Chain A
């Protein structure tokens, strides 16, 4: 029994990483209706920027805020330059664009900061949290920040004018334009916010997985899985999905004989696929109703 609760706790701790990433994924999905495959790489790049600033002697929180602003601007610039012209192109072309962006960001980061592993500081310290060996203060802080972000997004999308405008632009662009919303800029804003959230996720994850250009590969897969599991239309679902995937993965690794580390990922993914087959819009997403 203690093993079970310990594993669940450890799962929640890793799940927080996935939840962070899933939140960024859902964010951009809400804004542009696409899954951004380069999301993880953009987050990685932001994290490297923060690291660089700290190397230059800027204190943690200043670097944090600066990175956030830069990432936000960077996301908007990428949208304006690269993806706005593709807005009318087929979806699959957009996906190819994401893959191209992935390759570019990854390679440029590798060139600037090379592929050696770097330490990234944590603002929360890494002592055991409340005397538990399984979860550190950093991981607890990560869960806290994720929940805070979630609350912020919830209020932003439900109660602010601009948040409502973004939702309108994403769900019914034509009607949104008719009531005077600049849908094109709403998309850019969505990119900026997704990039900012990605940066936060990156800076929280980096102390755990260490900083290097490929650090996001595995995390992004789990982030996607979490977002899809929770339902792509629901930020709350994405966060819960993240925790679920983390717990899932740990339990599979512990209790299914022969699964070990190698089959952890495939089994977790297979379980998610099964969930999707039963409930195709994710656990917390709304079903999209098709009319003829």
Chain B
């Protein structure tokens, strides 16, 4: 009996997250949204830029969350999709003179196709092996971008400089603030779309695959289709984030998109809580701000401080921000009752 039971309960890579627990309540959502809307009016331009970076990484972490939290697949190759999206946007803006906003959907679609195709061989791999395959993709990407044959388009090792867009319609806001609101609008759109995706038939199919692949296929779910689809969607969203990143940083270069970016995004997902979409922004804030904090604590030991902080987080809350949210929800509930 034990052997049979073992295989059934053999835990998937992540804990099952009930669908309802993947989102925030309406009240909390509006509160968070209001904070995000108001904050840039009161801080310096540099902080606004950092907040924009948080939003962009938030989108990328969300994309990974859909892949890992939604369909149970693991990827260390998100930086490759991010790089692809960034380069497509940068090339379209600089070489084709396209409007920056119009380049984003193109980045998304190309990355979707790329991710979908990459998902095909990845179908046969799982767990550690999938991690290695995606890892290979991430290490290969910067090298491809440096290739001499593509240098006319990509600018080789030097990279490309992207012009920063001005606020349209003569709005009296600085470039940074405008870019922040532009990014915020896109983030919200992607967030809402992702939640709807996970609530749809496709989302339920992905989650069924995550929880038990064999049972899911017995229920008639097309495993390969939904697994590759999850890869495609995740890559597409990451591509949009990459495009936004290129516009915000005004610069793309192969070495900005190394495996370290993929690891950072992965850490963001763990800190935010795997499978909890609102946690993505918390995780993104962690990977943007904590290295800075670590640097300010000690220059020579910044890596160690970062590691220790990360350990503190995973010791106190192994399920990331999701756990914090659940606990505080309980507390609020108790207060209301008493």
A binds B: yes
Task: Report how far A104 CA is from B140 CA in the complex, Å.
Answer: 26
Q: Which of A182-238 contact B (CB under 8 A)?
A: 221, 224-225, 228, 232
Q: Which of B77-94 contact A (CB under 8 A)?
A: none
Chain B residues, CB < 8 A from A161: none
Asked if B14 and A91 sit within 8 Å, CB to CB, the answer is yes
Asked if A273 and B128 sit within 8 Å, CB to CB, the answer is no
Asked if A90 and B14 sit within 8 Å, CB to CB, the answer is yes
Report the contact-size class of chain A (Cβ under 8 Å from the partner). 35 or more
Assuming the contacts A93-B270, A103-B307, A104-B307, asked whether A266 and B144 have C-beta atoms less than 8 A apart, the reply is: yes
Interface flags for B122-143 (1: CB within 8 Å of A; 0: not) read 0011101101110110011001
Task: Report how far A272 CA is from B136 CA in the complex, Å.
Answer: 9
Asked if A85 and B315 sit within 8 Å, CB to CB, the answer is yes
Task: Report how far A89 CA is from B315 CA in the complex, Å.
Answer: 9
Chain B residues, CB < 8 A from A106: 303
Assuming the contacts A174-B6, A280-B124, asked whether A273 and B310 have C-beta atoms less than 8 A apart, the reply is: no
Chain B residues, CB < 8 A from A110: 300, 303
With both chains docked as a complex, state the minimum distance between the C-beta of A95 and any C-beta of chain B, in angstroms: 7
Asked if B132 and A224 sit within 8 Å, CB to CB, the answer is yes
Nearest B residue to A29, CB-CB: B128
Task: Report how far A228 CA is from B129 CA in the complex, Å.
Answer: 7
Asked if B133 and A99 sit within 8 Å, CB to CB, the answer is no
Asked if A92 and B68 sit within 8 Å, CB to CB, the answer is yes
Which listed residue (B10, B139, B303) contacts A265, Cβ 8 A?
B139
Total A-B contacts with CB atoms under 8 angstroms apart: 141
Chain A residues, CB < 8 A from B13: 90-92
The verdict on B47 contacting chain A, using a C-beta distance below 8 Å, is no
Asked if B315 and A103 sit within 8 Å, CB to CB, the answer is no
Task: Report how far A262 CA is from B141 CA in the complex, Å.
Answer: 11
With both chains docked as a complex, state the minimum distance between the C-beta of B162 and any C-beta of chain A, in angstroms: 25
Interface flags for A257-292 (1: CB within 8 Å of B; 0: not) read 000001101100110111011001000000000111
Task: Report how far A101 CA is from B8 CA in the complex, Å.
Answer: 32
Nearest B residue to A111, CB-CB: B300
The verdict on A97 contacting chain B, using a C-beta distance below 8 Å, is yes
Report the contact-size class of chain B (Cβ under 8 Å from the partner). 35 or more
Interface flags for B53-68 (1: CB within 8 Å of A; 0: not) read 0000000000000001
Task: Report how far A115 CA is from B269 CA in the complex, Å.
Answer: 31
Asked if A291 and B4 sit within 8 Å, CB to CB, the answer is yes
Asked if B315 and A92 sit within 8 Å, CB to CB, the answer is no
Chain A residues, CB < 8 A from B308: 100, 104
Chain B residues, CB < 8 A from A164: none
Task: Report how far A225 CA is from B135 CA in the complex, Å.
Answer: 10
Nearest B residue to A89, CB-CB: B318
The verdict on B263 contacting chain A, using a C-beta distance below 8 Å, is yes
Chain B residues, CB < 8 A from A91: 13-14
Task: Report how far A175 CA is from B7 CA in the complex, Å.
Answer: 13
The verdict on B266 contacting chain A, using a C-beta distance below 8 Å, is yes
Chain B residues, CB < 8 A from A266: 136, 139-140, 143-144
Asked if A89 and B4 sit within 8 Å, CB to CB, the answer is no
Assuming the contacts A82-B311, A92-B274, A103-B310, asked whether A277 and B121 have C-beta atoms less than 8 A apart, the reply is: yes
With both chains docked as a complex, state the minimum distance between the C-beta of A80 and any C-beta of chain B, in angstroms: 14
The verdict on B225 contacting chain A, using a C-beta distance below 8 Å, is no
With both chains docked as a complex, state the minimum distance between the C-beta of A225 and any C-beta of chain B, in angstroms: 7
Asked if A86 and B300 sit within 8 Å, CB to CB, the answer is no
With both chains docked as a complex, state the minimum distance between the C-beta of B132 and any C-beta of chain A, in angstroms: 5
Assuming the contacts A266-B136, A277-B124, asked whether A86 and B301 have C-beta atoms less than 8 A apart, the reply is: no
With both chains docked as a complex, state the minimum distance between the C-beta of B266 and any C-beta of chain A, in angstroms: 7
Which listed residue (B68, B126, B135, B143) contacts A263, Cβ 8 A?
B143
The verdict on A179 contacting chain B, using a C-beta distance below 8 Å, is no
Asked if A89 and B133 sit within 8 Å, CB to CB, the answer is no
Chain A residues, CB < 8 A from B267: 96, 99
Chain B residues, CB < 8 A from A85: 315
Task: Report how far A273 CA is from B122 CA in the complex, Å.
Answer: 9
With both chains docked as a complex, state the minimum distance between the C-beta of B228 and any C-beta of chain A, in angstroms: 14
Nearest A residue to B141, CB-CB: A266
Task: Report how far A108 CA is from B298 CA in the complex, Å.
Answer: 12
Chain A residues, CB < 8 A from B305: 107
Asked if B274 and A100 sit within 8 Å, CB to CB, the answer is no
Interface flags for A15-39 (1: CB within 8 Å of B; 0: not) read 0000000000000000000010000
Asked if A276 and B311 sit within 8 Å, CB to CB, the answer is no
Residues of B within 8 A of A (CB): 2-4, 6-8, 10, 13-15, 68, 74, 121, 124-126, 128-129, 131-133, 135-136, 139-140, 143-144, 146, 214-215, 263, 266-267, 269-271, 274, 300-308, 310-311, 314-315, 318-319
Would you give 30 A-B contacts (Cβ < 8 Å), ordered by A? A35-B128, A82-B311, A86-B318, A90-B274, A90-B319, A93-B314, A93-B319, A95-B270, A96-B266, A96-B270, A99-B263, A99-B267, A100-B310, A107-B300, A111-B300, A174-B2, A228-B129, A265-B139, A269-B139, A269-B140, A273-B121, A273-B136, A276-B124, A276-B125, A276-B132, A277-B121, A280-B126, A290-B214, A291-B7, A291-B8
Residues of A within 8 A of B (CB): 35, 82, 85-86, 89-93, 95-97, 99-104, 106-108, 110-111, 172, 174-175, 221, 224-225, 228, 232, 262-263, 265-266, 269-270, 272-274, 276-277, 280, 290-292
In the A-B complex, the 6 residue pairs with the closest CB atoms: A107-B303, A266-B140, A269-B136, A104-B307, A103-B307, A100-B310
15 further A-B pairs in the complex, CB-CB below 8 A; given A111-B300, A269-B135, A291-B4: A35-B131, A89-B318, A92-B266, A93-B318, A100-B314, A103-B306, A103-B307, A106-B303, A111-B301, A172-B3, A262-B143, A265-B143, A270-B140, A272-B132, A280-B125
